[in-house]
Amino acid sequence: MSFKERVYSLLRKVPKGKVVTYGQLAKMAGKPRAARAIGVFMRINPDAPRTPCHRVVASDGSLTGYSAQGGVKKKKRMLVEEGVFFIKDKVDLAKSCLNNRYTFTS
């Protein structure tokens, strides 16, 4: 499985109501210094919404981009509808980010 395929596979396991940062996803996929590559993969995601790229956020909770129609406003709306918590325009990472102990179930 390629790095990109692994990233998409892991992202599909992030549950509704939770987000993951670009850096976390890179680390989970085995390349902790590849956060920028994760951003590229999200932008070219061929399988949205099955691969929920809207659940990937910046390390400070910012919604740094969303290439689908509606942009960041749509991304925030989707996350709110899924139960993600916000403080103004940033995700409340303490409440909504996967923690390091989180394990995926098959």
**Of 1, 3, 4, 2, nearest in space to 41 by CA:** 4
Whole-Å CA distances, 91 to 1, 50, 68:
31, 21, 19
What angle separates helix 35-43 from helix 3-11, to the nearest 10 degrees? 70
| Known active-site residue 97 | no
Which of these is catalytic: 7, 38, 53, 78?
A: 53
- Residue 70 contacts residue 63 (beta carbons within 8 Å): no
Query: Catalytic amino acids?
Result: 53
